[in-house]
A and B are shown apart, each in its own frame.
Chain A
Amino acid sequence: MRNRLRVLRAELDWSQADLAERLGVSRQTVNAIETGKYDPSLPLAFSIARTFNRRIEEIFDSPQPAGLASTRAGL
């Protein structure tokens, strides 16, 4: 999943460790989310959104899966 975490973090001049401390997770977890290697759980995504005072959709963006798109087109 793509996300704007690194940009938002840079805007506030926070390090990964700063954000990790605010979210109550490890720095490695913040790094894995930023690099797209790990998708956060819904509670963690909400807590990220709250930390940056934005909506989840403004931070995370999932490309629509092809299967879902074709199903909708078929209906």
Chain B
Amino acid sequence: MSEQQPNPDDAPLEPLYTHPASPFLRTESTAPARVDLPTPAIFQSTWVTYRAQIEFGLAMLAYLMVLVGSVTVLQANPGASWRYIVAVLPVAPAAVTLWIFMRALARLDELHKRIQMQAFAFSLGATALLTFAYGFLEGVGMPHLSWTFVLPLMAILWGVGTAIFTMRYR
């Protein structure tokens, strides 16, 4: 009984190797290597994603350093003729911070510009509401709060507003 012929359909389309693997012979692939790499995902480095935040943080750090330096120098030289110049020095890094902030706003896309506009409007209005309300309460005996609370309050409400209006467009 003769050996059955191998079914040609069972044979591999391309033999993987031209000859068995040997440590002395180089095994060559019959077909040129072709690998379908997946399309690389959009690569965004931390710098690209958080550029504005990093720049803002560095500018704030510069502001704090100049502020501490300025206060230290002024305390050591209270009567110096150049004290006005030193006292106003922290405004320079603060101006840089403002410039970075405005530039980051200008770079936002149209939806995020709208969200920020709504968040700022909310922050302005809610701060006005809260400060007036507390002002009325101060009139009838509540303890006096420093004006320096107004900016942090505004910043917190801006953050709250950004979260609210971002959710609205989700």
Identify the A interface with B (CB < 8 A).
Answer: 17-18, 21, 24-26, 28-29, 31-32, 37-38, 40-41, 44
Contact = CB atoms under 8 A, between A and B. Distances in A.
Given A26-B112, A29-B112, A21 B170 contact: no
Given A25-B110, A29-B111, A32-B170, 8 more contacts: A17-B42, A18-B42, A25-B109, A26-B112, A32-B111, A38-B114, A38-B169, A44-B110
Size class of the contact patch on chain B = 10 to 19
B168 interface: yes
Contacts, number: 32
Nearest to B109: A25
A67 B53 CA distance: 46
A49 B166 CA distance: 26
Interface of B is mostly: helix
Nearest to B166: A28
Nearest to A24: B109
Nearest to B112: A26
- Residue of A18, A21, A29 contacting most chain B CB atoms (<10 Å): A29
A28 B167 CA distance: 10
Interface of B: 42, 109-112, 114, 166, 168-170
Contacts of B112: 26, 28-29
Contact of A37 (B42, B109, B110, B169): B169
Task: List the 4 closest pairs (A to B, CB-CB), nearest first.
Answer: A25-B109, A29-B111, A32-B169, A37-B169
A18 B141 CA distance: 59
A29 B168 contact: no
A24 B166 CA distance: 19
Contacts of A32: 111, 169-170
A28 B42 CA distance: 16
A28 B110 contact: no
A17 B109 CA distance: 14
Contacts of B168: 37
Nearest to A31: B170
Contacts of B170: 28, 31-32, 37
Contacts of B114: 38
